[in-house]
């Protein structure tokens, strides 16, 4: 389908095709599994603070509707396109199936640079985007969550706009919202905390000790910063951190508390006095035991894959590794990859918990949330590792196989209408 053509969508399709070939999925089932069920492209006009009107392109893609409502984040980033959103929606489908959640995948986005918009402009953009999407979303239809460039406040505006339309509060329309309006304890930390948990499991698996391990993290937003603190709790030393503006390195370890304060004030890690500045390319090639891409897609490529120097590649971001880089990583047996659909699944798992709590109006403690989160991640990790070892395939191939197979089975048993 040409409308989705984009390097990230081609990458998601290539991954799917590799699994489909291995599973010998008949060709007449492939297109049904691969291409999104619905996609919306909208114009989002807002009045800017200077009185001018600006129109932004907004998207929402619902990948499949077979197992329940669709679920997925909303991204604000200048590079957002329909094809990128479609790829992210497809990965959400496999991720939800891998972790056994009753959802299809979805993703949304607005092509904008949120750093250049005032709070008022961001609110108007979010409310107008939501208004345009109202015919296509609902707590039993499609449920949004934060992603790159969006946060709890964004979710609160969406929930409010939708609730005003409905005439009553509908907390289940989004997850990742503030606890005071029906959010779940532990949701904000869930993705990064899950990343930390899975890295710890991977360290056990390959015999690394946390206290002797160094981590490098690309991205210091919601996921990257929580993953950094989580790793530090396990005893890992964080030696490198980077964001969109640049990177930092300190072989003795970076003081994360001080860095967090600096990043909050400067809106970037760059300029932090407790480490030396480095480029993003240098960051990814730093010697370390654990490398955590927690920013954008397509960061580990065939160019830098031979240069990375880690033992564990923990894909906190969605799609950080290209299929060409995968070929190289497959040959580098010393690197244990925790693939994205497993590594960052903590976010959607706790989103699911939040949704369940909202539908029941019955809320859990943070300990219950974290305990249930770790059980689901443990099960998904073990199933993936077992399949990877049994069939001698990469962890990515194993995780995708589990996810794709479950969606395929569900589609088969439900049949094709009419």
Return the range that interacts with ligand NAD (CB under 6 A); candidates 50-58, 141-149, 254-262, 301-309.
Answer: 141-149
Q: What is the smallest separation between the CB atom of 351 and ligand NAD, expressed in angstroms? A: 8
Count of residues in contact with ligand NAD, rule CB under 6 A: 24
Q: What backbone torsions phi and psi does residue 272 show, to the nearest 5 degrees? A: -65, 125
| CA-derived radius of gyration, the chain | 20
| Length of the chain, in residues | 418
Q: Is 107 a catalytic residue?
A: yes
Q: Is 103 in the site for ligand NAD (CB under 6 A)?
A: no
Task: Work out which of 57, 244, 270, 387 binds ligand NAD, going by CB under 6 A.
Answer: 244
Distances (CA, A) of 391 to 22, 51, 237, 283: 11, 61, 34, 34
3-state secondary structure of 244: coil
Options 71, 95, 107, 177, the catalytic residue:
107
3-state secondary structure of 276: strand
**Whose CB is nearest to ligand NAD?**
221
Q: What is the DSSP letter of 80?
A: -
**Structure-token match 């001018």, residue found:** 52
CB 224 within 8 A of CB 316: yes
Task: Work out which of 62, 66, 93, 344 binds ligand NAD, going by CB under 6 A.
Answer: 344
Task: Work out which of 83, 104, 149, 171 binds ligand NAD, going by CB under 6 A.
Answer: 149
- Residue 287's Cβ-side half-sphere holds a number of Cα atoms within 13 Å equal to 2
Return the range that interacts with ligand NAD (CB under 6 A); candidates 56-64, 217-225, 271-279, 301-309.
Answer: 217-225
Say which residues have a Cβ less than 8 Å from residue 118's Cβ, sequence separation at least 6. Answer: 49
Q: What is the smallest separation between the CB atom of 92 and ligand NAD, expressed in angstroms? A: 9
CB 290 within 8 A of CB 311: yes
Task: Work out which of 133, 232, 275, 295 binds ligand NAD, going by CB under 6 A.
Answer: 295
Task: Work out which of 109, 196, 219, 339 binds ligand NAD, going by CB under 6 A.
Answer: 219
Q: Is 280 in the site for ligand NAD (CB under 6 A)?
A: yes
Active site residues: 107
Q: Which residues bind ligand NAD (CB under 6 A)?
A: 146-149, 191, 218-224, 242-244, 280, 294-296, 316-318, 344, 347
């Amino acid at each position: 389908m040409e409308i989705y053509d984009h390097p990230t969508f081609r990458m998601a399709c290539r991954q799917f095709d590799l699994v489909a070939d291995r599973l010998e999925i008949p060709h007449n089932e492939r297109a049904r599994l691969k291409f999104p069920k619905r996609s919306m492209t909208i114009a989002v006009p807002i009045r800017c603070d200077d009185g001018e009107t600006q129109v932004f392109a907004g998207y929402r893609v619902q990948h499949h509707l077979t197992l329940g409502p669709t679920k997925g984040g909303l991204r604000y980033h200048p590079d957002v396109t329909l094809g990128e959103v479609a790829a992210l929606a497809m990965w959400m489908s496999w991720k939800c199936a891998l972790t056994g959640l009753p959802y299809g995948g979805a993703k949304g986005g607005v092509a904008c640079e949120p750093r250049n918009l005032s709070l008022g402009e961001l609110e108007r953009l979010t409310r107008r985007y939501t208004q345009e999407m109202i015919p296509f979303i609902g707590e039993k239809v499609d449920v949004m969550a934060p992603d790159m460039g969006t946060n709890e406040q964004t979710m609160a505006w969406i929930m409010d706009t939708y609730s005003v339309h409905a005439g009553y509060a509908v907390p289940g329309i989004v997850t990742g919202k503030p606890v005071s309006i029906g959010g779940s304890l532990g949701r904000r930390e869930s993705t990064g905390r899950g990343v930390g948990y899975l890295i710890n499991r991977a360290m056990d698996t390959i015999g690394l000790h946390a206290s002797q391990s160094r981590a490098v993290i690309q991205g210091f937003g919601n996921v990257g910063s929580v993953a950094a603190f989580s790793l530090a709790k396990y005893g890992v030393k964080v030696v490198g951190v980077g964001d969109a503006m640049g990177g930092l390195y300190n072989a003795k370890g970076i003081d994360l508390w001080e860095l967090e304060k600096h990043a909050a004030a400067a809106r970037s890690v760059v300029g932090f006095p407790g480490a030396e500045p480095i480029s993003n390319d240098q960051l990814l090639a730093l010697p370390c035991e654990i490398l955590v891409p927690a920013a954008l897609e397509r960061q580990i490529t065939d160019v830098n894959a031979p240069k990375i120097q880690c033992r564990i590649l923990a894909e906190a971001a969605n799609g950080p590794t290209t299929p060409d880089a995968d070929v190289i990583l497959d040959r580098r047996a010393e690197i244990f990859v925790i693939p994205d659909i497993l590594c960052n699944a903590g976010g959607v798992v706790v989103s699911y918990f939040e949704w369940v709590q909202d539908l029941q109006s019955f809320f859990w403690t943070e300990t219950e949330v974290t305990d249930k989160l770790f059980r689901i991640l443990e099960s998904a990790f073990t199933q993936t590792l077992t399949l990877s070892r049994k069939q001698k395939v990469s962890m990515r191939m194993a995780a995708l196989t589990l996810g794709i197979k479950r969606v395929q089975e569900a589609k088969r048993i439900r049949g094709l209408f009419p």
